[in-house]
């Protein structure tokens, strides 16, 4: 069964695993499950990384059992474990939450050295064309610092994400060459997605990485943006699409989990 709806200016299509159709469309964002389900402790999904790889080559997420932070870049799927150490993800592994896109940027720009994280995000906002609801973004270059975190693998019965995040490990990478990949979503899809920016980092050697909590540019950063108004969602059997009216209620919880530092 497929559900199709407009949430303001974002076209949202959701489907079950059995209804997945082959697609690798430009400017379409594809995600497994919802951030709301992850908050509730739904840490096992039914989508494999092989299937995820058929739907995009850039993105982020996590693995079943909440086994670290996932970074998708240049078609490679990587896991930053609880210590921030990066390894490749096998095609048969599964994800309870991930967002990917076939990255075809239409906006390019540069961010100057010496900007703090808030200023970097403000610069991205100003580069995106007005009226852009959502976009995928990639930043490459030298960072003076990246504050990142990862989470330890969980065993069932799972606790809510807010409790697990209390066990997160935070790392500070300094003077590091690397890439940030991720997305900006509008406030009105909070609960389905993380509103605002969600970025994951991996260094140029693909050895260290994690979920970004803060950063500072160390040199000019190359910026590429791929705007989108289409979000396709694969929902595991136990997950339904969150009512966007509940978005406000989940805002505080998501803020605590995704930006806690
Ligand atoms: Zn993350």
* Domains of the chain: residue spans and CATH: 2-103+229-245 (3.30.1330.80), 107-227 (3.30.1330.80)
Which pLDDT belongs to residue 116?
98
Q: How far is the CA of 168 from the centre of ligand 1 (A)?
A: 12
Q: How far is the CA of 60 from the centre of ligand 1 (A)?
A: 7
Of 28, 49, 59, 55, the C-alpha closest to 179 is: 59
Q: How far is the CA of 200 from the centre of ligand 1 (A)?
A: 6
Q: How far is the CA of 199 from the centre of ligand 1 (A)?
A: 6
Q: How far is the CA of 118 from the centre of ligand 1 (A)?
A: 17
Q: How far is the CA of 6 from the centre of ligand 1 (A)?
A: 25
Predicted TM-score (pTM) of this structure: 0.94
Which pLDDT belongs to residue 261?
55
Which pLDDT belongs to residue 238?
85
Which pLDDT belongs to residue 214?
98
* Rounded Cα–Cα distance for residues 218 and 49 (Å): 33
Q: How far is the CA of 138 from the centre of ligand 1 (A)?
A: 15
Which pLDDT belongs to residue 243?
60
Question: Cis before residue 157, ω within 30 degrees of 0?
Answer: yes
Q: How far is the CA of 4 from the centre of ligand 1 (A)?
A: 26
What is the pLDDT tens value at each position of the chain, 261 positions in all? 678 888 888 999 999 998 887 777 889 999 999 999 999 999 999 999 999 999 999 999 999 999 999 999 999 999 999 999 999 999 999 999 999 999 999 999 999 999 999 999 999 999 998 889 999 999 999 999 999 999 999 999 999 999 999 999 999 999 999 999 999 999 888 889 999 999 999 999 999 999 999 999 999 999 999 999 999 999 998 888 866 555 555 777 788 888 865
Q: How far is the CA of 214 from the centre of ligand 1 (A)?
A: 12
Structure tokens at 24: 């690798």
Instruction: Tell me the CA distances in angstroms from 251 to 14, 101, 195, one per residue in order.
Output: 22, 24, 8
Which pLDDT belongs to residue 242?
62
Q: How far is the CA of 36 from the centre of ligand 1 (A)?
A: 13
Phi, then psi, of 238 in degrees rounded to 5: -90, 0
* Rounded Cα–Cα distance for residues 202 and 210 (Å): 7
Radius of gyration of the chain (CA): 17
Q: How far is the CA of 241 from the centre of ligand 1 (A)?
A: 20
Q: How far is the CA of 201 from the centre of ligand 1 (A)?
A: 9
Instruction: Compute, in degrees rounded to 10, the torsion defined by CA atoms 82, 83, 88, 90.
Output: -30
Using DSSP bridges, classify how beta strands 10-16 and 2-7 pair: parallel, antiparallel or unpaired. antiparallel
Neighbours of ion ligand 1 (CB under 5 A): 211
Residues 6 or more apart in contact with residue 157 via CB below 8 angstroms: none
**Which H helix or E strand runs over 249?**
helix 247-258
Q: How far is the CA of 150 from the centre of ligand 1 (A)?
A: 8
Which pLDDT belongs to residue 223?
98
Q: How far is the CA of 141 from the centre of ligand 1 (A)?
A: 20
């Amino acid at each position: 069964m497929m559900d199709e709806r407009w949430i303001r200016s974002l076209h949202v299509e959701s489907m079950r695993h059995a209804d997945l159709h082959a697609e690798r469309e430009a400017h379409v964002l594809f995600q497994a499950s919802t951030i709301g389900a992850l908050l509730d402790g739904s840490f096992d999904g039914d989508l494999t990384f092989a299937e995820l790889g058929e739907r995009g080559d850039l993105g982020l997420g996590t693995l079943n059992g909440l086994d670290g932070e996932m970074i998708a870049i240049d078609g490679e799927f990587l896991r930053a474990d609880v210590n921030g150490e990066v390894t490749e993800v096998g095609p048969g592994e599964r994800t309870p939450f991930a967002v990917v896109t076939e990255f075809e940027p239409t906006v390019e720009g540069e961010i100057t050295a010496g900007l703090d994280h808030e200023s970097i995000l403000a610069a991205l906002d100003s580069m995106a064309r007005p009226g852009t609801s959502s976009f995928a973004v990639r930043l490459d270059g030298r960072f003076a610092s990246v504050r990142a975190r990862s989470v330890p693998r969980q065993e069932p019965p799972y606790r809510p994400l807010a409790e697990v995040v209390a066990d997160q490990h935070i790392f500070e990478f300094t003077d590091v060459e690397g890439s940030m990949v991720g997305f900006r979503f509008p406030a009105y899809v909070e609960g389905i997605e993380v509103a605002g920016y969600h970025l994951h980092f991996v260094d140029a050697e693909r050895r260290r990485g994690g979920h970004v909590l803060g950063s500072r540019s160390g040199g000019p950063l190359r910026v590429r943006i791929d705007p989108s108004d289409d979000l396709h969602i694969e929902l595991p059997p136990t997950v339904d699409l969150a009512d966007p009216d509940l978005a406000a209620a989940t805002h505080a919880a998501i803020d605590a989990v995704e930006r806690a530092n």
